Amino acid sequence: MKMETQNLQVVRLHENPHYLKACCELINDEWPRSETARMMSLQASCNHLPTSLILIDDMKRLLGHCKLTAIPSIPESCFIETVVISKSMRGKRLGSYLMRQVEEYCKNILKLKMLHLSTKGQENFYAKLGYENCAPVSIYGVRSFNSVPTISDKIPNQVPVINNIVEGAPPPPPPPMPKPETMVNNTLKSTKTFMFKYL
């Protein structure tokens, strides 16, 4: 059964902080994690990125959540994460509605040109919304495997180092990415399916 979409609203979580606890429970019901860690992640929501968007109905019930995260190497896109509809409300097109609203938000408010995401198991859901498979992308600031070498690749060992910082050199590389995404031979490897869509 399809929900009447005129009764639904997608709003920013940080402008509706009374949903924080319920949102934490909604997400942890699907992907259990410490409440503290989850709350910290949700409390980071802001008008730039990251942003948590929530789906609520006319009874002010929380029905869904989606987080948008920056992709440092692709500024014209963002990464869609933690898409979830409350268990009892699935299969009513709410997930599709949430995604469409999120796409409008990214296009019209954030002025983005495309969206990326990764999934393991929900490929068909996203494919129906127009997402296509693509190469893995990292949200951790690691440059892509086919990018040209940078000056930091060529710093000889003998260059004087002051407080572990090479004078005149670019800033040190970011910390290694957590699994499941890992770099092998300078290529981002992942067990997930990466997908993207032009807005």
Ligand X SMILES: CC(C)(COP(=O)(O)OP(=O)(O)OC[C@H]1O[C@@H](n2cnc3c(N)ncnc32)[C@H](O)[C@@H]1OP(=O)(O)O)[C@@H](O)C(=O)NCCC(=O)NCCS
Q: Alpha-carbon distance 58 to 37, whole Å?
A: 30
Q: For ligand X, give the closer residue by CB, 53 or 84.
A: 84
- Token code pair at residue 4: 């009447």
Q: By CB under 6 A, which span of 44-52, 101-109, 117-125, 165-173 interacts with ligand X? A: 117-125
> Residues 133-162 vs ligand X: string with x where CB under 6 A?
------------------------------
* By CB under 6 A, residue 119 contacts ligand X: yes
What percent of the chain is helix, strand and coil (3-state, nearest 5)?
30, 25, 45
CB of 159 to ligand X, least distance (A): 44
Residue type, 168: G
DSSP state, 7? Answer: G
Q: By CB under 6 A, which span of 102-110, 116-124, 141-149, 165-173 interacts with ligand X? A: 116-124
Q: For ligand X, give the closer residue by CB, 119 or 145.
A: 119
Give the total of residues touching ligand X (CB under 6 A).
16
Q: For ligand X, give the closer residue by CB, 124 or 146.
A: 124
CB of 69 to ligand X, least distance (A): 13
Q: Alpha-carbon distance 187 to 158, whole Å?
A: 28
In degrees, to the nearest 5, what angle opens at C-alpha 188 toward C-alphas 66 and 78?
A: 30
Q: Alpha-carbon distance 106 to 95, whole Å?
A: 16
- Token code pair at residue 158: 């003998």
- Residue ranges in contact with ligand X by CB under 6 A: 30, 83-85, 90-96, 119, 122, 124-125, 128
